[in-house]
Amino acid sequence: MLRFPPIRLQSALVSLLLLVVAGWLSASSAPASARAPALVGADSEGALACGDLPRLMATYLQNHVLYRSMTDELRERTAESHLRMLDSSRSLFLEKEAVELRQKTEALFPALSRDDCGILETMHRTSIERYREMEEFVRQFVSDDDYAIDETAELVLDPDKRGFPKTKAEREALYEKLIHFQMSNYISNEETLADAKEKLIHRYELITKRAEEMSPDEVYARFLGAFAGALDPHSAYLSPDNLEDFRIHMGLSLEGIGAVLSSRDGYTIVEEVVPGGAADLSGALQPKDKLLSVGQETGEMVDVIDMDLRDVVRMIRGKKGTAVRLGVLRQGTETERFTVRLLRDKINLEEQAAKLEFKTLERDGRKLRLAVIDLPSFYGDKEPDARQATEDVARLLDLVKREKADGLLLDLSRNGGGLLEYAVRVTGFFLKRGGVVAVGDSGKQNQVLEDPDGSILFAGPLVVLTSRVTASAAEILAGAVQDYRRGIVVGDDHTFGKGSVQTVAPLPAGLGALKLTTAMFFRPGGESTQQSGVNADILLPSLTQVPDFGEVYQPYSLPPRSIDRFGADGAAGVDVSGGYASVDAATVEQLRRRSEARTAASERFAEVRKEIDKQRRNRGVVKVADLIEKPSKNDADGLSTGDPAPLTGDAAILVPADAPKLRGEKEEPTPQLEEALEILADLVAANSQLALN
């Protein structure tokens, strides 16, 4: 009998996971509307076969939260998704060839019902031919005795913005830019021009070889993954290898660098840094960093552009205490290329845990004692001795009460999610009673998860600090606080906006698993957090507040839905028995005006705004001259910290440079955290007539 994991609110991007903190729970703990689906067919052991595709696609459609039958739109989206997998960098095919491939994919569906994958196999052979042509072009171009890197070359990194080349001449011009970019990476690693040429040619030979060696089941798996990705950004097909990675992600046992990677447009992208891991503690990686090369303690760096993500992951993983080197491309306020050296290690669980500190601010001559709880994720595990977010936060809130804090700042600015049950329980620490979140399936059957007890662990003034990084389970807490008017949400314009539930259903041996979106979440006010997230009551300038960062920008993001309000009336408004007062609109407006005046006069926020403007001017284009003129930033012992302004990560999404850190209490607080404390002090002053218990 198959057993499935329950809901875990996962990160906003479909990623191949190197290491995150999570745990399996028993299937009985999942809401009924989100249990794993029953499988249709797929009862044979062995590699994925052509005949498995229609049965597995039917399973997706029978259980998906939105799509329940094949539509013309879904066929078109699958064709586009499959084309992205065939040619992620939009460099192999011409525009007219891309149109033909989309049409062939749409025509594939009736053939699959006849157990005919000939169209898929033909498309794969065509891609192999294009890889061979690209390899030969690279060989001839760099073998010219007069070849030199064109430092004036500029490359648009986003393939969607580039589009498919219209002619062979345009395609060759793109090849040349790619070559100059890749050669500059080798040269920056102190390779001679001759060695760089040899390595680049070998790299393209390996790409061709990888395409030639793809087995039929890998070709079928690629198409099934394209179909799943056409449903929504978080549904996926997990091959046996990828399923192993997923289990490692859930198991807390892998020794590595503590990072989550994804593959997009031919690049390996850092999506997440885990608190307490090597990448976090070094401060070496930032959001959207691209990995260009990987090397071990000694030996050459291996170029990983266009390399299969599984192979990149295997190169980075390793035993505790061993070193791995990463060649990184970063595009922020300026373009940088540098190498970092990380020692593989297990996650330090203490760095993931909730933390408490106290700050003192003054209002009207009165010194206010303000508590700050940093909650990086809703972590937990079934093991008896494992740390639990609920127990840790409850213990810290007891200390907050004993220390007679005047108010509490709950920092969720790096919290990308975690366990649903724990998010509900922690939210209940601040409410007397009422529904916290509703889980709705495709049949619009909604299950409301209530505050599990009638007690309140903290009844004082509350401010929740969020960002675009705040996602999933963290959005549930922020949304409930806002809908019940229990406190004030401050930070970025809105949180990430991931309001969907994924279920992983293992298939018989050798076939991997299906990961599919089976339900959506709804706030007590009835609105979904999907796409829109939770809007801040008071907006603070931040480097995460960029146009393309959030669920709404993910391919085929599901549209939001709404249901009737389900929050209990007694939880909102003035609750004398609970000892807290709701925050009314007039108070929020008053505090917003005071905050805007402070941030307008703040030198630190002026710097944040300046950095935001620089990022906008430097978006999307990499200049070869920038990569060559600036040396790789390695310190004397090879332990590079990359950018001088270190950052850390959360348990679901990577964090920007201005996010709060976990690596020591003495580090300077961010301007967002400081201003959130000022807002909390204003709220305490506004509520001074309330006797806190």
Angle between helices 473-483 and 420-428 (to 10 degrees): 30
DSSP of 334-360, one letter per residue?
Answer: SEEEEEEEEE-B---HHHHS-EEEEEE
Please tell me the distance from the alpha carbon of residue 535 to that of residue 507, in angstroms, as a whole number: 39
Largest distance between two CA atoms of the chain: 84
Please tell me the distance from the alpha carbon of residue 296 to that of residue 291, in angstroms, as a whole number: 14
Query: Do 93 and 264 touch, CB atoms closer than 8 A?
Result: no
Q: What phi, psi does 21 have (nearest 5°)?
A: -105, 120
pLDDT attached to residue 445: 81
Please tell me the distance from the alpha carbon of residue 206 to that of residue 622, in angstroms, as a whole number: 25
Q: What is the CA radius of gyration of the chain?
A: 26
DSSP designation for 246: H
Q: What is the CATH number of domain 351-581?
A: 3.90.226.10
Question: How is residue 85 written in tokens?
Answer: 């997998």
Query: Do 138 and 202 touch, CB atoms closer than 8 A?
Result: no
Q: Whose structure tokens read 């525009």?
A: 95
Please tell me the distance from the alpha carbon of residue 187 to that of residue 210, in angstroms, as a whole number: 25
Please tell me the distance from the alpha carbon of residue 150 to that of residue 391, in angstroms, as a whole number: 59
Residue 653, CB-side half-sphere exposure with 13 Å CA sphere: 31
pLDDT attached to residue 15: 31
Question: Which pLDDT tens digit goes with each residue over 142-159?
Answer: 999 999 999 899 988 888
Q: Where are the alpha helices (DSSP H) in 213-264?
A: 216-231, 240-251
What is the pTM assigned to this prediction?
0.75
Residues near 508 by Cβ (< 8 Å), separated by ≥ 6?
Answer: 42, 43, 44, 45
pLDDT attached to residue 549: 82
Question: Which pLDDT tens digit goes with each residue over 553-593?
Answer: 899 999 999 999 997 554 444 443 455 678 999 999 999 99
Please tell me the distance from the alpha carbon of residue 506 to that of residue 657, in angstroms, as a whole number: 38
DSSP designation for 415: -
- Ramachandran region of residue 163, left (φ > 0), alpha (ψ -120 to 50) or beta? left
pLDDT attached to residue 643: 25
Angle between helices 95-112 and 118-143 (to 10 degrees): 150
Please tell me the distance from the alpha carbon of residue 588 to that of residue 538, in angstroms, as a whole number: 8
Pick from 639, 677, 270: nearest CA to 465: 677
pLDDT attached to residue 541: 94
Please tell me the distance from the alpha carbon of residue 30 to that of residue 36, in angstroms, as a whole number: 9
Residues near 247 by Cβ (< 8 Å), separated by ≥ 6?
Answer: none
Question: Which pLDDT tens digit goes with each residue over 595-605?
Answer: 999 999 999 99
Residue 515 three-state SS: strand
Residue 584, CB-side half-sphere exposure with 13 Å CA sphere: 7
Question: How is residue 114 written in tokens?
Answer: 């006849």
pLDDT attached to residue 455: 87
Query: Do 371 and 458 touch, CB atoms closer than 8 A?
Result: no
Question: How is residue 428 written in tokens?
Answer: 């209940």
pLDDT attached to residue 134: 97
Q: Where in the chain is the domain with CATH 3.90.226.10?
A: 351-581
Which parts of the chain have pLDDT scores under 50?
1-44, 249-254, 570-577, 631-666, 690-693
Work out the end-to-end distance of the chain between its first and last CA atoms, rounded to an integer number of angstroms.
Answer: 52
Pick from 660, 658, 548: nearest CA to 608: 658
Question: How is residue 261 written in tokens?
Answer: 């990677």
Residue 250 three-state SS: helix
pLDDT attached to residue 379: 83
Pick from 498, 537, 615, 458: nearest CA to 14: 498
